[in-house]
Amino acid sequence: MAVHLSPAMFAAKPITFGTDGWRGLIAADFTFERLTRVAPLAALALEQTFGSTTGSRTVIIGYDRRFLSPEFAGATAEAVKAAGFDVLLSEGYAPTPAFSWAAKQQNALGALVITASHNPGAYSGLKVKGAFGGSVSPEVTQKIEAMLERNESCSSSSPGTLNTFDPWQSYCEGLQAKVDISQLQGAIAQGKLTVFVDVMHGAAASGLERLLGIPVRELNSNRDPLFEDGAPEPLPRYLNKLFEQIKAYRLENPDGLAVGLVFDGDSDRIAAVDGQGNFLSSQVLIPVLLEHLAIRRGFTGEVVKTISGSNLIPRVAKLLNLPLHETPIGYKYIADRMLSTPVLLGGEESGGIGYGNHIPERDALLSALYVLEAIVQSGMDLSDLYQQLQEKTDFSSAYDRIDLPLASMEVRSRLLEQLQSQPPQEVAGQAVVDCLAIDGYKFQLADQSWLLIRFSGTEPVLRLYSEANSPERVQQNLTWAKDWANSI
């Protein structure tokens, strides 16, 4: 039987910037031609936004370990140089936060980073970072999109310069200064703590060893642009190897203290595995880090969470007498808050955590150092630290999220209209007592559980999140949401 292929099936999607950058399928949406068109305009938007304060013409270009990332970065560098900007091109792969750090340290206009973060291997992407060392605001990305829509170009009769640099050295020195490295080195060298690291074939490879100066048990260090046919996302379904190694260690060392640290593809997201081999998302890590930084390190400042963050976070903030601020989902909103207010920690449920004593950027390697410091200074397993916080706040919960593909963008529109005109008054048998609509629709329920319904900005996908007092209740809320979506 003949298969008829329509050209529309392969039409490239418009270049749009989501919660953190432009991403697309390599060779379909993300191509050399489109990248070299958008990159000079992104540099121009950076100049228009940060040129007057930096007096700079320099743009940092960095990349991860994905398919064609070095080549995409090289083409980006040439295009930005041809547009009259001075380019500092990375000598090799590095974490995205390292390029945000470089943008600020080098007094550059910003950074353009070739990465698709945690997406599967078929994707690449472009993140735009500002001179301050974090994700640019929606206004900047909207400016880039507007220039693209007007079919503007950015050219210069006088090209800039192109030089290369090592992104690791200054970045590692900056992170090392924020913790007691010798204390961590001693605990690991003396066998008091065994550290497993799953870099998921991504840009965090070698990072923790560079920071600590001693070996750790690193998994998936090799470059694999296909990510073992999965995705470099710190989720349990991709971490079987790490679970197995920690559980095998536990059988041989029943009294030993161990931790697993997991980094996504460009090392701006983190998750962990405790010494018993249990997965711990940032919903667990953020409260633990808050207590460590406030109590053991004596730090202060505002706690910033996204609306999908655990209800334990505000309870811990109250326990520690710290102010709390809630934002839409997307680290750029946390970064904006960090630029205007003294912040202790800002975090999101997907694993992005940043710190007010650092650049306004989520940084998984710095989070890893603070997690190690919390374990070493307390002498406790991560899960024990978390349980202790639950007891102090008299609050315990379970959490999960799912992505529900929709048949079309038309279905998406119908669901959105339903939420706007006839929001549910009851979810899975529990009355809705409040609704927060700063990003999607977050329904607070009578039993103190919550359900968040959000839409992807670019795809027919419904994102569903829930927290409740038991895993069973979480699944009831999510099942209700799926059934609701399928009935509209």
Residues 6+ apart with CB under 8 A from 35: 72, 75, 76, 79, 126
Start-to-end CA distance of the chain, whole Å, equals: 35
Is 7 a member of any domain?
Answer: no
pLDDT band (50, 70, 90) for residue 459: confident
Mean pLDDT of the chain: 94
> Within this chain, do residues 229 and 297 fall inside the same structural domain, yes or no?
yes
Please, what is the Cα angle at 244 between 242 and 245, to 5 degrees? 65
Tokens of 338: 């960090």
Query: Is the model's pLDDT at 457 over the cut of 80?
Result: no
Inside any domain, residue 187: no
E strands of 20-72, at which residues? 22-25, 58-63
- Residue (of 291, 316, 303, 299) closest to 377 by Cα position: 291
Q: Which of 68, 66, 116, 112 is nearest to 89 (CA)?
A: 112
Query: Alpha-carbon distance 195 to 215, whole Å?
Result: 9
Give pLDDT tens digits for 324-375: 999 998 888 899 999 999 999 999 998 999 999 999 999 999 999 999 999 9
Judge if 161 and 40 occupy the same domain.
Answer: yes
458 pLDDT band, cuts 50/70/90, is: low
Q: Decide if pLDDT at 6 tops 80.
A: no
Q: For residue 347, give the CATH number of its domain.
A: 3.40.120.10
Q: Where are the alpha helices (DSSP H) in 108-239?
A: 138-149, 168-176, 181-189, 207-212
pLDDT, tens only, 216-262: 999 999 999 999 999 999 999 999 999 999 999 999 999 899 999 99
Q: What is the pLDDT of residue 2?
A: 42
Q: Enter the pTM of the model.
A: 0.93
Sheet of strand 324-327: strand arrangement? 324-327, 302-306, 343-347, 353-355
Q: What is the pLDDT of residues 400-427, one digit of tens each?
A: 999 999 998 899 999 999 999 999 999 9
Same domain, 202 and 163: no
Q: What is the mean pLDDT of residues 95-118?
A: 97
pLDDT for 4 equals 43
pLDDT in tens, 280-335: 999 999 999 999 999 999 999 999 999 999 999 999 999 999 999 999 988 888 99
Per-residue pLDDT at 186 exceeds 60: yes
Say what the pLDDT of residue 153 is.
Answer: 86
Last residue of a domain, one of 363, 378, 393: 393
Q: Are residues 255 and 108 in the same domain?
A: no
Structural domains in the chain (count): 3
| Dist CA 113 CA 153 (whole Å) | 20
Q: Is the pLDDT of residue 155 over 90?
A: no
**373, 393, 413: which is the final residue of a domain?**
393
Question: Any residues with CB less than 8 A from the CB of 182 and at least 6 apart, and which?
Answer: none
One domain, residues 48 and 121: yes
Residues 108 and 247 both lie in one domain = no
Q: At 358, phi and psi to the nearest 5?
A: -130, -170
Domain that holds residue 432: 398-487
